[in-house]
């Protein structure tokens, strides 16, 4: 089923765990500023992992980055659209990278 011309719903995302992650747990469904909503999702993730130690933090961030390649590709394949704005995993990982400093 192609979703390129259909509106994606949260219930559809629940059936596709990789797409749910790509959509930032649904934050990418926001009609305005989905990237900003994705960054807001990154805040509690950062708060949860900020005290794990630098090496552990870096490992989590690198794993999220590498996994994100596959996660985002699953969403792109499902949507049949290159670089959809609703895919906000890159904003989440980007925030974690920014907070290394």
Location of structure tokens 């089923």: 1
Q: What are the residues whose beta carbons fall under 8 Å from the beta carbon of 96, sequence distance 6 or more?
A: 42, 45, 46, 49, 57, 60, 61, 64
Half-sphere exposure of 91 (CA within 13 A, CB side): 24
Extract the tokens encoding 59. 């490992």
pTM of the model: 0.88
CA 90, CA 25: separation in Å to the nearest integer? 13
Segment-wise mean pLDDT, segments of 10 residues, the chain, 101 residues: 66 96 96 95 97 97 98 95 93 97 84
């Amino acid at each position: 089923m192609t979703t390129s011309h259909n509106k994606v719903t949260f219930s559809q995302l629940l059936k596709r765990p990789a797409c749910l992650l790509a959509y930032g747990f649904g934050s990418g469904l926001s009609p305005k500023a989905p990237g900003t909503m994705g960054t807001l999702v990154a805040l509690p993730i950062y708060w949860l992992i900020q005290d794990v130690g630098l090496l552990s933090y870096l490992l989590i961030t690198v794993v999220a980055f590498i996994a994100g390649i596959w996660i985002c590709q699953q969403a792109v394949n499902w949507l049949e659209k290159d670089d959809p704005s609703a895919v906000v995993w890159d904003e989440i990982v980007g925030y974690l990278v920014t907070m290394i400093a």
